Structure 1
Amino acid sequence: MNTADMGLPVAVPSTALFTDQYELTMLRAALKAGTEGRRSVFEVFTRRLPEGRRYGVVAGTGRVLDAVENFRFDAGVLEFLRDRQVVDEPTLQWLADYRFRGDIWGYPEGEVYFPGSPILRVEASFAEAVLLETVILSILNHDSAVAAAASRMAVAAAGRPLIEMGARRTHELAAVAAARAAYVGGFASTSDLAAGFRYNIPTVGTSAHAFTLVHDSERDAFTAQVDSLGRGTTLLVDTYDVTEAVRTAVEIAGPELGAVRIDSGDLLLVAHRVRQQLDELGARDTKIVVTSDLDEYAIASLAAAPVDAYGVGTQVVTGSGHPTCSMVYKLVARARSADPAAPLEPVAKRSTGGKSSLGGRKWAARRLDADGVAEAEVVGTGPVPEDLAARQLLVPLVRGGEVVGRERLEAARERHRAALAALPMSAAQLSRGEPVLPTVYV
């Protein structure tokens, strides 16, 4: 596990079975054919962004590095494969010694990407690299989808903090990954304690409607919460009558009440009424937090409301309607033999069904206009033009099997903020449109 962006170290089991069976059957056949040692280059990219999206967000890179480090076929895994007769004994012997010893380059976490961007490049023998396809795509497709949704929500929030609270709306392990990705995309905190433990993300949470309902009255519930958590707590005020609840909340906590949360109703109208009531009661510093199935469009519609923070659940952990980025992992170059000196040759799928790819080991750079604003994503296979040499996007992540690109999660978060600031202003539009930058191949 990535201890650099975690709260505390967490033991991580083997990730070797986070894969599809055909990765192993390809390995078995390649070992028999003698092609397993051919130097190969695989690249991760997407042919298109989800409909209407203006940019993508790279997220999950740190988790990919953890997965590669822990991709080991231990005794239990090998016995499972033997019992299922997935591969033969020579292949099992080869897997017993598996360690990724190649190189991985990629867009750094938090960076934005566009159709055709070579988001990740894996260079190793065919056998070493092909086994990583499924686990890499599983992580990047999920985390990048969540981060893209989070980024759009953060743009819509215009500086108001966002709380990720979707753990109850997805798989328990996906919830942790989603909280991490949402943090990269601009969320300020999470309700998920496992995410806080693993990745040192700020955590928040006070009470649900059940806490109010278990008490004999709303006053009793508020009194119990304030006595326990202090006047700076957040009181949930929409269990019964909002107006009465706000009045009771201020009577109990005083003007030092930290915040009230609204989870239902016409949020725009209710927020205005609650703000007016709080001000009249002298609680001018008490903040208003709204929740209730928010997405980027709902958040944008509340821009004029006196809202101080948003809590988002289902929509962020499911990518706000786009739970995957459709990233693929394709072989783009290989050598004709296992000789380390054998030159690489471009290879690519040729298809009339819209799934063609561009062969060759690629570089990528972002071209800026005279004002320093990004104007194109430039992707090429030949020499890098001199004017783009300092604008290259891929950075080393793994070198000779050793992780070299691990960083703190805060760095990815800051990088995303800077990457967004360098895009044209139209990147912030929520209306449907084409990617904000064209991809230019040279």
Structure 2
Amino acid sequence: MNTADLGLPVAVPSTALFTDQYELTMLQAALRSGTADRRSVFEVFTRRLPEGRRYGVVGGTGRVLDAVENFRFDETILGFLRERGILDGPTLEWLADYRFRGDIWGYPEGEVYFPGSPVMRIEGTFAEAVVLETVILSILNHDSAVAAAASRMSVAAGDRPLMEMGARRTHELAAVAASRAAYVGGFHTTSDLAAGFRYGIPTVGTSAHAFTLLHDTERDAFTAQVDTLGSGTTLLVDTFDVTEAVRAAVEVAGPELGAVRIDSGDLLLIAHRVRQQLDELGATKTRIVVTSDLDEYAIASLAAAPVDAYGVGTQLVTGSGHPTCSMVYKLVARADSEEPGAPLRPVAKKSMGAKTSLGGRKWAARRPDADGVAEAEVIGTGPVPADLADRQLLVPLVSAGKVVAREPLDAARDRHIAARAALPLSATQLSRGEPVLPTEYV
């Protein structure tokens, strides 16, 4: 869901300068050489997953569609490029009419991916496709990293809700994107109101330690919060003494107190003690929420604790140690001339080391075993085998320049849950390991 779904106005700035200068200088040189209109195919993929990860998660597809749609060079942007002397007159004139009129295919948002998976394929003239490289990579690398971290945390949390609380730990615009990606990966709510406004994600939040310290006593702070938000609110109980705070919280709110939040200390030990105390005070339905620099490993360590929900910030919005997916945007096929019917031929970088890539316009499918569990990511450039024809992963996203794959955010979230469930059970192990599926090229 986004604000368009909610009927709310949103200013949509141009994304044309979310790019590296060499995209535009390549464009200028190609216009001069007469190769700019050659039909070309670019693909986005990663050569490897972050160390120890078993699968990746496609995040940000919906934001890519917005970025492509709003990639426009208005007079202000053209003036900037002109004043800096970055481009010549003919190139600026070409950009003034720029609209992406090609096709984009990709793994749908929320789908899992593996090394070599062509998570997005951009087809059009060289000129119209090359300028999109940086903005597409910027979105997919960031959002997929957060979505993958969120997925691992979701696995660790099981049925317990997850709250995204990382806005203060990253750039203000990245925080909104991170909230969206976390929701795709399995989180339930966000503290970021901009994300709630933009994407319709449920929002949460009550008070911080500063609110308690503002008042003369902790009880006064609890009373003020309950009077304002009701007894179903969440009271923060670790500003001073947790035991005294829990007692005061129940006395102020009654046994209908919604939840208490613990933000420091030995969370496992404190959670057990607080649960026992709440039960003894008759607040048997009061939930326990824990925060405090959690990651998937800390969440997993609390599986046996009487914890009802988790709030996660820093580790989530920074990809839990892997803030990028190292995705690349490579030309894999191009025509030999500008003739509309000129055939495509594979092209690829051939260099020393690990940066060699495979040329050719690719399809991808996920082969299941006899029990319906995925056993391989199959990628090819020729005809699709008959047994994989209905298991292809790429879907049309943009057709002849028109977005054709807009969907509610919940659809991407549900898709991820289903895709993850179809992987081998070892995919959900938090221990380091190789990708859970091999990549096979045919």
Per the normalisation by structure 1, the TM-score is 0.99
Residue in structure 1 matched with residue 256 of structure 2 by the alignment = 256
Residue in structure 2 matched with residue 21 of structure 1 by the alignment = 21
Residue in structure 1 matched with residue 119 of structure 2 by the alignment = 119
1:260-339 matched pairs, under 5 angstroms: 260-339=260-339
Residue in structure 1 matched with residue 224 of structure 2 by the alignment = 224
Q: Secondary structure at the match of 1:256?
A: coil
Question: What is the CA-CA distance between 1:10 and the residue it aligns to?
Answer: 1.1
Residue in structure 2 matched with residue 165 of structure 1 by the alignment = 165
Question: What is the CA-CA distance between 1:225 and the residue it aligns to?
Answer: 0.2
* Deviations 1:88-142, CA, capped at 9 Å, x for gaps: 0000000000000000000000000000000000000000000000000000000
State the distance in 2 between where 1:21 and 1:6 align.
Answer: 36
Question: What is the CA-CA distance between 1:353 and the residue it aligns to?
Answer: 2.0
State the distance in 2 between where 1:252 and 1:2 align.
Answer: 39
Question: What is the CA-CA distance between 1:7 and the residue it aligns to?
Answer: 7.0
Residue in structure 2 matched with residue 82 of structure 1 by the alignment = 82
State the distance in 1 between where 2:48 and 2:75 align.
Answer: 41
Residue in structure 2 matched with residue 35 of structure 1 by the alignment = 35
Residue in structure 2 matched with residue 149 of structure 1 by the alignment = 149
Letter in 2 for 1:396: P
State the distance in 1 between where 2:417 and 2:175 align.
Answer: 23
Q: Secondary structure at the match of 1:323?
A: coil
Q: Secondary structure at the match of 2:255?
A: helix
Question: What is the CA-CA distance between 1:333 and the residue it aligns to?
Answer: 0.2
Residue in structure 1 matched with residue 440 of structure 2 by the alignment = 440
Contact 1:43 1:119 in 2 (8 A): yes
State the distance in 2 between where 1:115 and 1:36 align.
Answer: 30
State the distance in 2 between where 1:325 and 1:351 align.
Answer: 21
Question: What is the CA-CA distance between 1:3 and the residue it aligns to?
Answer: 5.0
Letter in 2 for 1:400: A
Letter in 2 for 1:13: P
> Are 2:13 and 1:45 aligned?
no
Question: What is the CA-CA distance between 1:8 and the residue it aligns to?
Answer: 2.8
Contact 1:106 1:396 in 2 (8 A): yes
> Are 2:100 and 1:100 aligned?
yes
Question: What is the CA-CA distance between 1:381 and the residue it aligns to?
Answer: 0.3
> Are 2:248 and 1:242 aligned?
no
Contact 1:4 1:408 in 2 (8 A): no
> Are 2:189 and 1:186 aligned?
no
1:355-434 matched pairs, under 5 angstroms: 355-434=355-434
State the distance in 1 between where 2:335 and 2:132 align.
Answer: 19
State the distance in 2 between where 1:338 and 1:37 align.
Answer: 6
Number of residues of Structure 1 aligned to a counterpart in Structure 2: 442
Alpha-carbon distance change, 40 to 3 in structure 1, aligned in 2, over 3 angstroms: farther
Letter in 2 for 1:148: A
Structure 1 residues 1-10 or 373-382, which shifts more? Answer: 1-10
Alpha-carbon distance change, 3 to 344 in structure 1, aligned in 2, over 3 angstroms: farther
* Deviations 1:211-243, CA, capped at 9 Å, x for gaps: 000000000000000000000000000000000
* Deviations 1:138-165, CA, capped at 9 Å, x for gaps: 0000000000000000000011100000
* Deviations 1:1-20, CA, capped at 9 Å, x for gaps: 96566673411110000000
Contact 1:7 1:200 in 2 (8 A): no
Contact 1:2 1:62 in 2 (8 A): no
**Root mean square deviation, CA, Å:** 0.9
State the distance in 1 between where 2:8 and 2:254 align.
Answer: 38
- Identity level (%): 85
Letter in 1 for 2:122: V
Alpha-carbon distance change, 146 to 24 in structure 1, aligned in 2, over 3 angstroms: same
Contact 1:335 1:345 in 2 (8 A): yes
Contact 1:212 1:221 in 2 (8 A): yes
State the distance in 2 between where 1:328 and 1:393 align.
Answer: 19
Q: Secondary structure at the match of 1:76?
A: helix
Residue in structure 1 matched with residue 345 of structure 2 by the alignment = 345
State the distance in 1 between where 2:102 and 2:151 align.
Answer: 32
Per the normalisation by structure 2, the TM-score is 0.99
Contact 1:363 1:384 in 2 (8 A): yes
Gap runs ≥5 in structure 2:
none
Gap runs ≥5 in structure 1:
none
Residue in structure 2 matched with residue 67 of structure 1 by the alignment = 67
Letter in 1 for 2:140: L
State the distance in 2 between where 1:219 and 1:115 align.
Answer: 55
Letter in 1 for 2:82: R
Letter in 2 for 1:155: V
Q: Secondary structure at the match of 1:435?
A: coil
State the distance in 1 between where 2:91 and 2:2 align.
Answer: 30
Letter in 1 for 2:41: V
Contact 2:3 2:200 in 1 (8 A): no
Letter in 2 for 1:181: A
Contact 2:3 2:197 in 1 (8 A): no
State the distance in 1 between where 2:410 and 2:425 align.
Answer: 24
Question: What is the CA-CA distance between 1:297 and the residue it aligns to?
Answer: 0.3
